[in-house]
Chains A and B, each alone.
Chain A
């Protein structure tokens, strides 16, 4: 009897989750306070919950709209696409995953780069999109970031990087790991030419992106509540069987330990970046 009872419970629970997409899991429902918003309300509030301040994820194009002066963004290197160097096939071929991600996101890969101005200050923007294969960094992300460094150096303007990434893209194998030194070498060249990099870490910035260009800004900022850890909480918990602190890997913890210059609320991000652009500017 008791066995049967248990089975019924499971079925009810399953049914409840299937039927309730408008509950906690809905993308426009705040996981912090449970408030639900219409899409236009969220866009207007920069996807910050007006009730509790929770920062919802922002896609790359919307982020650029939030940060750049209207009409100033001019995309560069939009034509680059990933090849499939290993002929990678897990449960599905990598090429299929790429095509699907492009269809779903309208993006060629997990980063959008280009020229822009923020409150009148010229810069280059390199903005990641977590929706494209978890914002993973493969050859295209590495190449586009490196080109953004070169474009910024050539124009003598700072580069503003906004990251959201699960880490290196496994489907490109060792070539994905090589994007760490690639982006780092590009930053070295930018810095040697007197250029500057401002790095904004958004939720989540983990693995290979944290272990490369996201950590190397002249100024490193993060949004409130952003997870920024080299190893994810699940991996750490499984490997070490340690009890994780509640704020494990979060921006607040990283700030306390000295890995961040500031935690900046999304509403303050544009004015903060424009201040930095003026401070680092070469004009008298």
Chain B
């Protein structure tokens, strides 16, 4: 029997989306936290607020994965290479200590200056990057280390060599690997959660999203170019497909929003890292106590239920 509060929340969630949401299992255990989050949201973000998120998510001073790693993980040891072809600098993997436990980290990495941006390919990974990620995931599973991923990419790299090396298949297999893991997994959208390149490392028990991050099926410019036939209509496109954290929470795509310092994560990276660390540790603690088989089944069930449908 769902409690009265739960019914209210469900109503609110479905009202926000304006239709029957194909979910429900997820709410009961996390009612209070979701209630907290929803209370903070007040009203639907406006088109201007959504565009502000797009700008902040791409802000040139926004902390990147390795900025957070330096502040959140102790004794970080980076792992390089996919053991087949190359080491993709657009995606970093490694081991570190987080609040008393060893975790495996997988994250996209953008560059700060022109030279590093080029080296990191603007955070757009090749299949080699996703294969490196899969190697790190398998390692985590073998040793029972929780997996933490940080998502910050405009998308997987659209290039000739990337296609020849199997970009689509690599993204599919990386998700399958995450669906198979027995260890606890937490994904954090920390900047741009761009399409397939993002979901490749974001199939997790708990998905967190920073307040000003975006998570979307296509870039606002890409969407505008296709549907409006004008990439300059990116603002309209973003307002239409709603890549902001509040909408992602309402749609059941993420589990929690991680607050950022006033003005955005770049105004105070230390404080942003502290808030992110707190949320990651809390999320890990929520799922660590579960039986591994049950945890994996719940993870799959969560994704199995996302979507909206009607019956004709």
Interface residues, chain A, CB within 8 Å of chain B? 79-91, 108, 138-140, 142-143, 146, 168-182, 184-189, 206-208, 210-216, 228-231, 235-236, 239-240, 242, 244-245, 248-249, 253, 257-259
**Distance between Cα atoms of A257 and B311 in the complex (Å):** 42
Does B228 touch A at the CB level, under 8 Å? yes
Pick from A138, A215, A240: contact of B159, CB below 8 A. Answer: A240
What is the minimal beta-carbon distance from B168 to any residue of chain A, in angstroms?
Answer: 4
Given contact pairs A178-B303, A181-B203, A211-B168, enumerate 7 new A-B contacts (beta carbons under 8 Å): A83-B309, A85-B19, A177-B198, A185-B304, A230-B162, A236-B159, A242-B160
Q: What residue in chain A is nearest B19 (Cβ atoms)?
A: A83
**Distance between Cα atoms of A85 and B251 in the complex (Å):** 8
Judging by beta carbons under 8 Å apart, are B306 and A178 in contact?
Answer: yes
What is the minimal beta-carbon distance from B208 to any residue of chain A, in angstroms?
Answer: 15
User: Which of B166, B168, B200 has its CB near the most chain A CB atoms (within 10 A)?
Assistant: B168
Interface residues, chain B, CB within 8 Å of chain A? 17-22, 156, 158-160, 162-169, 171-173, 175-176, 179-180, 195-196, 198-200, 203, 215-218, 222-223, 226-228, 236-237, 240-243, 247-248, 251, 253, 299-300, 303-304, 306-312
Judging by beta carbons under 8 Å apart, are A176 and B311 in contact?
Answer: no
Residues of B within 8 A of A90 (CB): 227-228, 236-237, 240
Pick from B18, B163, B166, B175: contact of A231, CB below 8 A. Answer: B163
Judging by beta carbons under 8 Å apart, are A83 and B310 in contact?
Answer: yes
Judging by beta carbons under 8 Å apart, are A182 and B165 in contact?
Answer: no
**Distance between Cα atoms of A257 and B165 in the complex (Å):** 7
**Distance between Cα atoms of A3 and B203 in the complex (Å):** 59
Pick from A174, A181, A236: contact of B303, CB below 8 A. Answer: A181
Q: List 10 A-B contacts (CB under 8 A).
A: A80-B309, A143-B309, A173-B243, A174-B248, A175-B253, A184-B175, A212-B171, A213-B172, A236-B160, A236-B163
**Distance between Cα atoms of A184 and B299 in the complex (Å):** 12
**Distance between Cα atoms of A138 and B241 in the complex (Å):** 13
Judging by beta carbons under 8 Å apart, are B166 and A140 in contact?
Answer: no
Q: What residue in chain A is nearest B214 (Cβ atoms)?
A: A174
Residues of B within 8 A of A172 (CB): 217, 308
Pick from B159, B218, B309: contact of A140, CB below 8 A. Answer: B309
Pick from B19, B21, B304: contact of A146, CB below 8 A. Answer: B304
**Distance between Cα atoms of A242 and B159 in the complex (Å):** 8
**Distance between Cα atoms of A207 and B226 in the complex (Å):** 14
What is the minimal beta-carbon distance from B279 to any residue of chain A, in angstroms?
Answer: 20
Judging by beta carbons under 8 Å apart, are A207 and B251 in contact?
Answer: no
**Distance between Cα atoms of A114 and B163 in the complex (Å):** 32
Judging by beta carbons under 8 Å apart, are A81 and B158 in contact?
Answer: no
Q: What residue in chain B is nearest A176 (Cβ atoms)?
A: B217
User: Which of A138, A140, A178 has its CB near the most chain B CB atoms (within 10 A)?
Assistant: A178
What is the minimal beta-carbon distance from A51 to any residue of chain B, in angstroms?
Answer: 30
Judging by beta carbons under 8 Å apart, are A177 and B217 in contact?
Answer: yes
Residues of A within 8 A of B168 (CB): 206-207, 210-211, 214-215, 228-230
Judging by beta carbons under 8 Å apart, are A82 and B160 in contact?
Answer: no
Pick from B175, B217, B308: contact of A83, CB below 8 A. Answer: B308
Judging by beta carbons under 8 Å apart, are A175 and B242 in contact?
Answer: no
Judging by beta carbons under 8 Å apart, are B196 and A139 in contact?
Answer: no
Residues of A within 8 A of B251 (CB): 85, 173-175
Judging by beta carbons under 8 Å apart, are A180 and B199 in contact?
Answer: yes
User: Which of A180, A206, A236 has its CB near the most chain B CB atoms (within 10 A)?
Assistant: A180
Residues of B within 8 A of A184 (CB): 172, 175-176, 179, 203, 303
Judging by beta carbons under 8 Å apart, are B160 and A248 in contact?
Answer: yes
What is the minimal beta-carbon distance from A190 to any residue of chain B, in angstroms?
Answer: 11
**Distance between Cα atoms of A239 and B167 in the complex (Å):** 16
User: Which of A79, A170, A236, A242 has its CB near the most chain B CB atoms (within 10 A)?
Assistant: A170
Residues of B within 8 A of A213 (CB): 172
Residues of A within 8 A of B299 (CB): 185
**Distance between Cα atoms of A229 and B161 in the complex (Å):** 11
Judging by beta carbons under 8 Å apart, are B166 and A175 in contact?
Answer: no
**Distance between Cα atoms of A206 and B226 in the complex (Å):** 15
**Distance between Cα atoms of A244 and B237 in the complex (Å):** 29
Q: What residue in chain A is nearest B203 (Cβ atoms)?
A: A181
Pick from A84, A182, A207, A230: contact of B307, CB below 8 A. Answer: A182
Judging by beta carbons under 8 Å apart, are B228 and A91 in contact?
Answer: yes
What is the minimal beta-carbon distance from A261 to any residue of chain B, in angstroms?
Answer: 12
Pick from B216, B242, B310: contact of A177, CB below 8 A. Answer: B216
**Distance between Cα atoms of A142 and B175 in the complex (Å):** 15
What is the minimal beta-carbon distance from B14 to any residue of chain A, in angstroms?
Answer: 10
Q: A181-B203, A188-B300, A230-B167 are in contact. Are A175 and B308 (CB under 8 A)?
A: yes
Residues of B within 8 A of A242 (CB): 159-160
**Distance between Cα atoms of A228 and B251 in the complex (Å):** 30
What is the minimal beta-carbon distance from A216 to any residue of chain B, in angstroms?
Answer: 5
Q: A173-B217, A181-B303 are in contact. Are A84 and B309 (CB under 8 A)?
A: no
What is the minimal beta-carbon distance from A128 to any residue of chain B, in angstroms?
Answer: 15
Judging by beta carbons under 8 Å apart, are B163 and A230 in contact?
Answer: yes
Q: A80-B312, A81-B310 are in contact. Are A230 and B241 (CB under 8 A)?
A: no
Q: A91-B227, A216-B173 are in contact. Are A240 and B160 (CB under 8 A)?
A: yes
Q: What residue in chain B is nearest A141 (Cβ atoms)?
A: B307
User: Which of B17, B21, B173, B199 has its CB near the most chain A CB atoms (within 10 A)?
Assistant: B199
What is the minimal beta-carbon distance from A147 to any residue of chain B, in angstroms?
Answer: 10
**Distance between Cα atoms of A79 and B312 in the complex (Å):** 5
